Structure 1
Amino acid sequence: MSQTRQGSDAKPLDSQVLNAEESAAFKAMKQSPVRIVQIGEGNFLRGFVDWMVHEMRRQGKYDGAVAVSQPRPSGKAKLEQLQAQDGLYTLIVRGIEQGAPVERIEKIAVFGEFIDPYTQWEALLALAERPELEVLVSNTTEAGLTYQPTEVSLDKPAISYPAKVTALLYRRFLTFGADPAKGLLLLPCELIEGNGDELKRCVLQHSADWQLPEPFMAWVRDHNRFLNSLVDRIVTGYPGEEAAQWQERLGYDDKLLCSAEPYYLWAIEGEAGLESKLPFQAAGLDVVWTGDLKPYQLRKVRILNGAHTLMTPIALLNGVSEVRSALEHPQLGPYIRDAVELEIIPSLASEMAPAETKAYAATVFERFENPYNRHRLLDIAMNSISKFRARLLPSLEGYMSAHNGELPERIVKALAHLLRLYKVRLVEDQFAGERFDGSDYTIRDDRTALEFLAAAWDRYEAGTHDRTQLVEELLDSDLLWGKPLNGIPGLVEAVVEQFKGMKEETT
Structure 2
Amino acid sequence: MNPLNRNTAQTPAYPVKILQFGEGNFLRAFADWMIDMLNEKADYQSGVAVVQPIPQGMVAKLKEQDGLFHHLLRGLSDGQIVDESRLISCIQQLINPFDDPEQYFAQALNEDLTIVISNTTEAGIKFSEGDSPEPGKLAATFPGKLTQLLKARFDHFKGAPESGLIFIPCELIDRNGDKLKEAILNYTEIWNYPEAFVNWLDRYNYFGNTLVDRIVPGFPKDDIKEIQQNLGYEDNLVVSSEAFHLWVIEGPAEIEVAFPASKVGLNVKFVDDMEPYRTRKVRILNGAHTAMVPIGLLAGIETVKEAVEDEVIGQYIREILFEEIMPNINMPESELREFAENIIERFRNPFIRHELKSISLNSISKFKVRVLPSLLDYIKREQQLPKGLTIALASLIKLYLSADFDPSDDPKNLQFFEEVKSRSASNEGLINAILGNTAFWDMDLNTVTGLNKEVLSIFNALETESTKNLLAGQKL
SS at match of 1:262: coil
User: Which structure 2 residues correspond to residues 358-377 of structure 1 after superposition, within 5 A?
Assistant: 358-375=337-354
User: Deviation at 1:129?
Assistant: 3.2
Residues 125 and 330 of structure 1: is their aligned pair in 2 closer, same or farther, counting only changes over 3 Å? Answer: farther
User: Which structure 2 residues correspond to residues 390-429 of structure 1 after superposition, within 5 A?
Assistant: 391-392=370-371, 394-395=373-374, 398-399=377-378, 401-402=380-381, 408-409=389-390, 412=393
Q: Which runs of 5+ in 2 are unaligned?
A: 425-429, 464-476
Provide Cα deviations, 1:39-73, integer angstroms capped at 9, x if missing partner. 22222221221011112222461222112234455
Partners of 1:392 and 1:184 in 2: CA distance: 38
Residues 292 and 459 of structure 1: is their aligned pair in 2 closer, same or farther, counting only changes over 3 Å? Answer: closer
User: Deviation at 1:91?
Assistant: 1.1
Which residue, out of 19, 38, 53, partners 2:20?
Answer: 38
AA aligned opposite 1:54:
D
AA aligned opposite 2:65:
Q
Other-structure match for 1:14? 5
Is 1:127 the equivalent of 2:107?
A: yes
SS at match of 1:237: coil
Other-structure match for 2:466? none
> TM-score scaled by structure 1?
0.71
User: Deviation at 1:186?
Assistant: 0.8
Higher mean alpha-carbon deviation, 310-319 vs 214-223, is at 310-319
Residues 272 and 157 of structure 1: is their aligned pair in 2 closer, same or farther, counting only changes over 3 Å? Answer: closer
Residues 220 and 237 of structure 1: is their aligned pair in 2 closer, same or farther, counting only changes over 3 Å? Answer: same
SS at match of 2:226: helix
Higher mean alpha-carbon deviation, 43-52 vs 390-399, is at 390-399
SS at match of 1:137: strand
Q: Report if the CA contact (8 A) 1:319-1:435 is conserved.
A: no
Provide Cα deviations, 1:421-457, integer angstroms capped at 9, x if missing partner. 9xxxxxxxxxxxx99467xx9x8xxxxxx8xx34664
AA aligned opposite 2:443:
G
Residues 331 and 47 of structure 1: is their aligned pair in 2 closer, same or farther, counting only changes over 3 Å? Answer: same
Q: Which runs of 5+ in 1 are unaligned?
A: 1-9, 422-433, 444-449, 477-483
Q: Report if the CA contact (8 A) 1:40-1:140 is conserved.
A: yes
Higher mean alpha-carbon deviation, 457-466 vs 395-404, is at 457-466
Is 1:67 the equivalent of 2:23?
A: no
Partners of 1:354 and 1:84 in 2: CA distance: 49
Q: Report if the CA contact (8 A) 2:207-2:251 is conserved.
A: no
Q: Structure 1 vs Structure 2: percent identity of aligned residues?
A: 37
AA aligned opposite 2:446:
G
Provide Cα deviations, 1:174-193, integer angstroms capped at 9, x if missing partner. 43343321111111223455
SS at match of 1:235: coil
Which residue, out of 113, 126, 129, partners 2:93?
Answer: 113
AA aligned opposite 1:202:
A
Q: Report if the CA contact (8 A) 2:169-2:177 is conserved.
A: yes
Partners of 1:153 and 1:501 in 2: CA distance: 61
Higher mean alpha-carbon deviation, 407-416 vs 192-201, is at 407-416
Other-structure match for 2:233? 252
Is 1:203 the equivalent of 2:184?
A: yes
Partners of 1:81 and 1:417 in 2: CA distance: 46
SS at match of 1:15: coil
Partners of 1:416 and 1:285 in 2: CA distance: 41
Partners of 1:265 and 1:353 in 2: CA distance: 17
Q: Report if the CA contact (8 A) 2:208-2:252 is conserved.
A: no
Higher mean alpha-carbon deviation, 371-380 vs 128-137, is at 371-380
Other-structure match for 2:443? 487
Larger Rg: 2
Residues 387 and 487 of structure 1: is their aligned pair in 2 closer, same or farther, counting only changes over 3 Å? Answer: closer
Other-structure match for 1:87? 67
Other-structure match for 1:262? 243
SS at match of 1:92: strand
Which residue, out of 130, 140, 152, partners 1:151?
Answer: 130
AA aligned opposite 1:234:
I
Q: Report if the CA contact (8 A) 1:459-1:465 is conserved.
A: no
Provide Cα deviations, 1:59-99, integer angstroms capped at 9, x if missing partner. 461222112234455xx343333233222211112344445
User: Deviation at 1:205?
Assistant: 3.7
Q: Report if the CA contact (8 A) 1:150-1:163 is conserved.
A: no
Count of matched residue positions in the alignment of Structure 1 and Structure 2: 449
Residues 336 and 42 of structure 1: is their aligned pair in 2 closer, same or farther, counting only changes over 3 Å? Answer: farther
Residues 394 and 147 of structure 1: is their aligned pair in 2 closer, same or farther, counting only changes over 3 Å? Answer: farther
> TM-score scaled by structure 2?
0.75
Is 1:49 the equivalent of 2:31?
A: yes
Is 1:327 the equivalent of 2:308?
A: yes
Q: Report if the CA contact (8 A) 1:339-1:411 is conserved.
A: no
User: Deviation at 1:462?
Assistant: 9.3
Residues 237 and 144 of structure 1: is their aligned pair in 2 closer, same or farther, counting only changes over 3 Å? Answer: same
SS at match of 1:62: coil
Other-structure match for 1:183? 164
